[in-house]
């Protein structure tokens, strides 16, 4: 169930909720057994970062260190550009889904309510 309030109101910053340097960093790792070179892995990480942009608003602010890392257990001989493009597309989809699932499954922690507890209040 989507939030019952407009998304724009969820991003309003107040004096009590100003962004703090390093407080909202999101890290992700994309792993594959495709035989990626170092350059291929870098391109895969760049493409996978699009998944953060799909799922987090705002992302890559001056206050955080959002990053995606890519690794491969393959032999490092490289893949053709078309296969790499397909891997990057899948990686971005997976990162976006993983972020959304993490938000959905998060439990309340102290003063920070989890998504599910917010939904129970709306019912």
For residue 2 the two structure tokens come to 């989507």
Contacts of 70 (CB under 8 A, 6+ apart): 29, 30, 31, 32, 36, 41, 42, 44, 45, 48, 91
**pTM as predicted:** 0.80
Position 15 scores a pLDDT of 55
SS3 assignment, position 94: helix
Topology of the domain comprising 23-104+115-122: 3.30.2330
Position 123 scores a pLDDT of 47
- Averages of pLDDT over runs of 10 residues in the chain (123 residues) are 63 62 87 97 98 91 92 96 98 97 92 81 53
Could you state, in order of their start, the residue ranges of all structural domains in the chain?
A: 23-104+115-122
Position 98 scores a pLDDT of 97
Report the 10 Å Cβ neighbour count for 63. Answer: 14
Residue written as token pair 């997976």: 94
């Amino acid at each position: 169930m989507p939030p019952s309030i407009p998304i724009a109101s969820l991003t309003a910053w107040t004096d009590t909720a100003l962004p703090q340097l390093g407080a909202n960093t999101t890290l992700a790792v994309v792993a594959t057994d495709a035989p990626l070179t170092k350059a291929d892995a870098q391109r895969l990480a760049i493409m996978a970062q699009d998944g953060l942009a799909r799922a987090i608003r705002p992302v890559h602010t001056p206050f955080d260190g959002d990053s995606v890392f890519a690794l491969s257990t393959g032999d490092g001989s490289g893949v053709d550009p078309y296969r790499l493009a397909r891997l990057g597309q899948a990686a971005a989809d997976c990162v976006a889904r993983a972020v959304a699932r993490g938000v959905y499954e998060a439990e309340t922690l102290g003063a920070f309510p989890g998504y599910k507890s917010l939904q129970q209040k709306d019912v």
